[in-house]
Amino acid sequence: IKGNGSIDIEIARYALKALNVDANGLDEMDNKILTTLIDKFKGGPVGLTTLATAVSENGETIEEVYEPFLIQEGFLMRTPRGREATEKAYKHLGRIKGLNQGELF
C-alpha cells in the first residue's frame, strides 16, 4: 500500500521500522530477552524456564525462535549453567558489564 509495487530500500526500512526492528536486526522480544537477562539476572547464567517466565514467553518459543538468532549474532551464549548475555549485548543496550543497573551505590 505504501509503495509502488516493488520493494526498494525505503520500503524495506519503513517495514522494519513498523515492526520495531533495530539496526542489528533485533525486534522487541529480542531486546526484552537481553534486557531482562542483564537487568534482572546480572547477565546470567539463568535457566530457560526462569528466563521464559520473566519475559512472559513460552520456553520452547524462546529456544526455537529467538535464541538461534541471538546466539548466531553474538548477543547470547548457551552454557551448561544457563543462558548468558555477551559483551556485545551489554554494548547494544548501553549497559556496563558487572554494574547492577538497579543500584547506583
Task: Tell me the domain boundaries of the chain.
Answer: 24-93
Nearest one of 105, 103, 104, 100 to 41, comparing CA atoms: 100
Distance CA 26, CA 47 (A): 21
Taking the model in full, what pTM does it have? 0.81
* Tens of pLDDT, residue by residue, the chain (105 residues): 666 778 888 888 888 888 888 888 899 999 999 999 999 999 999 999 999 999 999 999 999 999 999 999 999 999 999 999 999 999 999 998 876 555 544
Distance CA 89, CA 26 (A): 11
Residue with grid cell 546480572, as numbered in its chain: 42
Query: Is domain 24-93 annotated with CATH 2.60.120.10?
Result: no
- HSE, CB side, 13 Å, CA atoms: give it for residue 96: 6
Tell me the backbone φ, ψ of residue 20, rounded to 5 degrees. Answer: 55, 45
